[in-house]
Structure 1
């Protein structure tokens, strides 16, 4: 049972949201929602998957391209893997793109193209974890689920002046967020608290003077708001190295290799290459007169930095091993390559 203080906080936040809600291509604003419009669960799901560990500004154009090309979950389910991976390039975390297709196909095959409306059923779909299931349940179906992203964690830590560092404090922050989640308009509330964190209760220089939760905010009273949330220091990212081999035949075909389904860039086409480690051995994909290009490719993944050296040869007179894929010049699209492989292509093209 929510107490009166919790109700006051939730009501104040919803009143603020009704006036200041951000406009987003996947969102039904509070006025339209009050008029009876309901969000499309497909668009809510797609936006939430895209927004994981990135920003609204970075996602907006990707979302518009995806929904123009594949306006329904059935259309996405029927799309070739390579096309979806190509459109995803630049968003990173390609496992999300693979799970995107798996989820779209599961919804199409098992639920007749309609997303289930409960947290538990959503959680059983490929690529949907507790946060995404809660977000879809709340935003698309108005279920009173607790949505806890980085913005919400920051708001809760400051509102309650919680100094325990993340990620260890997540259970406590979720408990506080759950206590504030209303039974009425939970979808609007979920978006309101995320908007507050993104626009007012920002990581640096929070605008406490115009915050709708200014009065009940315990960290503002204590003067600790800019110190929160605390985080356990991260270990520095290591640097790994690798070699890739770019070969083009006389008729313009490119020689590519499909990466294993599991692991980074799983299932995607890229340039044949070495392992990525501290001291990778050169591993040409077939015997040839390989020449190393000047320059290098630098790319950062979630857990490490990568530096690649690029080798090239004329592959016209060589037998290409069966495990490699030869893509003719009319079918080859650099935009379908993952970002790190496209960087290698751009370096090769420029020399």
Structure 2
């Protein structure tokens, strides 16, 4: 068992509080992503889990064992950092073997673990190369391999794909998802990239200002955000959130509604005067299979609609926008969702 239970975690740096009463349950074998903007506390929370940062109050359990005050080496974790942190003078094999040597693992066991990690990560032909002879994606796989050979209960990933180009990031996302399925291990992954979070996670933890804003599956967060913050953070392009005073008519709204929201793909384009608002197309981005229409509403409000790539709507055209009732999101003045 490698489930994780975090209870009431608080963390201060001097007078500045970085984490506020964080409580989470992570099931054995789950792939959980901590996501949020820079400074939200996601890396701090990960480092507290790893034992690289102490906590001021609260507790951490891994596999039913309280590790709140345990040293990192005693938590049975393996961490993969944003920087690959490989020894440049060592071969791939030696980099993967180093930690096992230090811990006194027998040579035969070390060899077996390296061979298995190399098989999983397709590194067999690179074992005798130095890091300088590898691509960025290969170096990241070596860093992951170094974690695999530890045979930990939990893998921790701190923005491991940030140094890769866009194409490699997509490839490595797929590889990490496959790795999770092969190892069936508990994995916690930190990123500021909500696309990574949506595509990889079994469960997403959205952090905001050191607090847990919402926890749920990717689609739960996408379809039922419990705050304006989550609504605008999850999804690309983000949910349109705007005042109902922006020329909206005939919408049944909660009296407490200060803002309404609609995902770009949920707008229905109709003839002017036939929807809940009229809009003018200011920019059209054609992306192949889909197009994004940037639209101006009354009072200077701008929204985005996602349409089929063959849609003929063009810049300068006036259209009507309809929001299907089941696709309408409402938020009060504090940003909390109204259901």
Taking structure 2 as the reference length, the TM-score comes to 0.28
- Structure showing the higher helix proportion among its residues: 1
